[in-house]
Structure 1
Amino acid sequence: MADHYALVAHAIAYLRANAARQPGLDEVAAAVHLSPTHLQRVFSEWAGISPKRFLQHLTKAALLQRLADTRDNLELADAVGLSSGSRVHDLVVSCEAMTPGELRSGAAGLAITCGFAASPFGAVLTAWTARGVCHFAFCTGPAAAMLDELRGRWPLACLSRDDAAAQTLLQRIFPATPEPGRVHLLLRGTNFQIKVWEALIGIAPGSVLSYRQLAGRIGAPRAQRAVGSALAANHIGLLIPCHRIIREGGEVGSYRWGSERKLALLAWEAARRP
C-alpha cells in the first residue's frame, strides 16, 4: 500500500500540473511509467475505485460541492441537536490535554515511545505515551531529521524507539478490513489550539470545512487567521484531521506533509464515504 501511494502521489502531481488539459488515463500512466492497465489496478487496489472516479474527487468542483454539503449537514445536525462528533466513525478518536503543571515542567521525565511504520499514505513517524498518541508525522525527509524534530518538541522526555509497536498501532488505525476502533490522543498546546483541534476531530471523514466555517464552529467567526495558525501547529497528522480544511474557493491549500498527500487523503476518504 505504501508503494502504491508513491505512484498515486506522482500521478496527482502530474494531474495538478496539467489540470487545464484534463489528461486521460493513457497520458497519466505514461507520466508515471506504468501501463494503463497497471495504473488502473494500482488505483483500484489503493483507493477502492477507478482512476477516473478517484481523479474526479480531486477537482475544485468536487471540493466546493463537499464544502456546501458539509455546511448543510452541520446545519441539519444543529437543528436536531446533534454534533458531528455523534456520528458513527470506523475510528473513534478521543483526546485529553496535558495539565498546566505538565506544560510548565516541559513534560520532564515523560516516557514516550516512538517508531517508524508504513501506512497507505507513506511512512509515518508516530510517538505515544501511556495516555495516548502525541505525535503522528508523515515522513517528508530523512529519518534522522524526523527524530530530531520529535526530540526538539519533547526535549525533557525519556524517548525510546519501537518500530514493531508503531506498526501495530498503524494497523489499528488502518485495519485491513474496516472495523470499529479507538485511538486516544495526548494534546500539547494552548487552550485555543486545543479547541480548534477538538473541532477538527469532530469533522466526519469525507467532509471538508473552510477556515471560516471552522472558526464559526468554535464560536470565533473572526478568528480565521488564528485558526490557520492552530492548524499549522498541529503535529498529530491524520488523527487531528487538518487535511479536511480547505480554502473558501475550493483550493486545497497548504499542508505540513505536502499538498499531494492532502489531496490523496481527501479523495481516499471521499471514496469511502457512504
Structure 2
Amino acid sequence: MPCLPALPPFPPEAADARGYRRVADAIVWLMRHAERQPTLAELAAALSVSESLLQREFTRLAGVSPKRFLQHLTVTAAKASLSGPGALLDHAYALGLSGGGRLYDHFVTLEAMTPGEYRDGGAGLALAWGVHDTAFGAALVAQSPRGVCLVHFLADGEAPGALLGQRWPKAAVRHDAAATAAVAARLFRPLAEPGAAPLALRVQGSNFQVQVWRALLALPYGALASYGQLAAAIGRPGAARAVGGAVGANPVACLIPCHRVIRAEGALSGYRWGAERKAGLIGLEAAHCLAGEVPDHA
C-alpha cells in the first residue's frame, strides 16, 4: 500500500504557524457541524479565507482534504461499534503482547523511568523541549537522551516551563525546538510506517500504567478498542475502570494512542486534551485508513 504523503518539517521559526492554526480551527468547526455535512464554501466563509487557500492548506498540513476528513467523521461513528469483544484480545495475542518479540518493539520501545528518578524529581535528567504548531493545536514535546517523555497539547495560557517544572523540578531543562521537531512531525502518522526510524519513549508511571500503555501501543493506526477490551488484553478483565484511569494518565499524546479507546457502546468518552480533539484524531486516522493510505501493521 502507498504511504501517507510526507508532512512538512516543523521549523524552529514557525513559518507555518498561521496555517496550522487555521487548519486546527477548520477541524473544530467541521466536527461541530459534521451532522449537516457543510460544503467547503461554508467552511471557508466561517474562517474568512478563500476556498482554494483552505483546500490547499488543509490537504498539505492535515494530509487529507477537508471533504475526506468530513466524510469520515460520520464513518467514525459507525466504526465505533467496534468489531466484537475479542478483537483487541485476539490482536494482542497475534502481536505476542504477553511475551517477548512484540511487533511494536520493531518501531517503538517503551521504557519506564526508575522509582529513584521519580522520587528525586528528575535530578540528573537532561530534557530538551519545544512547542510545535500542529493541526490539532500547540503541542509541547519533551525528550531525554533515552527517549520522548512528554507530548502534551497546551491549553490557552498554559506555560510549558511550569508544566515541566511540576513533573521534573530538578531536571536540567533546555528549550530546543529543533531537537524535538522530528518527534512533532510524527505525532499523527503510523509509527510502523516503512522507512521510519524506531522511536523510543521513556515514561513516568506505575507498573500497571506502563502495562496499559504497552497495550495501547499494540493498537494499529486507525483501530478502536473499548476499555473492557483493553483490560482483557492485559489479563485484567474486571479492571476496566482502573484501565480508564491509566489511559487518562498517558503522558505522551498520540505516540501512545490513548485517543483510540472508547466506551463499549461506541461513545467517545473523555480525553484529557478535549473530546473534540479526540474525535478529530480518530476521524483523521479513519480518513487515511479508508483511503487505503496506511501500511499493514501500522
Range class of TM-score, shorter chain: 0.7 to 0.9
Does structure 1 residue 46 correspond to structure 2 residue 65?
A: no
What is the one-letter code of the residue matched to 2:212?
A: V
Structure 1 residues 92-241: aligned runs within 5 Å: 92-142=107-157, 145-171=159-185, 179-241=195-257
Of 4, 16, 24, the residue aligned with 2:39 is 24
Rounded Cα–Cα distance in structure 2 between residues aligned with 1:220 and 1:138: 30
- Alpha-carbon contact 1:57-1:267 (below 8 Å) kept: yes
Cα distance in 1, alignment partners of residues 90 and 236 from structure 2? 20
Structure 1 counterpart of 2:103, one-letter code: S
Alignment of 1:261 onto 2:277:
yes
d(CA) in 1 for partners of 2:123, 2:18: 38
Cα distance, 1:8 vs. partner?
3.2
Whole-angstrom CA distance in 1 between matches of 2:270 and 2:214: 20
Contact 2:150 2:203 in 1 (8 A): no
Structure 2: tracts of 5 or more residues without a match? 1-15
Distance in structure 2 (CA, Å) of the matches to 1:11 and 1:174: 17
Q: If each structure's helix is expressed as a fraction of its own residues, which one has the higher value? A: 1
Deviations 1:181-222 (A, max 9, x none): 211111211111111111111111111112222222222222
Deviation string 1:110-168 (CA, Å, 9 cap, x unpaired) is 2222222344433322111121111111232336x222011101112222222221224
Contact 2:259/2:278 (8 A) holds in 1: yes
Sort the Cα spacing of 1:212 and 1:5 in 2 relative to 1 into closer, same or farther, 3 A. farther
More strand by share: 1
Kept after mapping to 1: 8 A contact 2:76/2:282: no
Matches of 1:254 and 1:245 in 2, distance apart? 10
Q: In the superposition, relative to structure 1, how do residues 178 and 111 fare at CA in structure 2: closer, same or farther (>3 Å)?
A: same
Q: What is the CA RMSD across the aligned residues, in angstroms?
A: 3.0
Q: CA deviation at 1:172?
A: 6.1
Question: Are the equivalent residues in 1 in contact too, given 2:129–2:175 (CA < 8 A)?
Answer: yes
Q: Distance in 2 between matches of 1:48 and 1:26?
A: 20
Q: Distance in 1 between matches of 2:59 and 2:65?
A: 5
* Fraction of identical pairs, as percent: 44
8 Å contact from structure 1 (residues 26, 36) kept in 2: yes
1:239 deviates by 1.2
Deviation at 1:270, TM superposition (A): 2.4
Q: Which amino acid aligns with 1:21?
A: R
| Aligned positions, number | 268
d(CA) in 2 for partners of 1:180, 1:71? 32
- CA apart distance, 1:69: 4.4
Distance 1:247 1:49, change over 3 A: same
Partner amino acid, structure 2, of 1:146: P
Structure 1 unaligned segments of length 5 or more: list them. none
Q: Of the candidates 287, 290, 297, which is equivalent to residue 271 of structure 1?
A: 287
246, 251, 254: which one pairs with 2:267?
Answer: 251
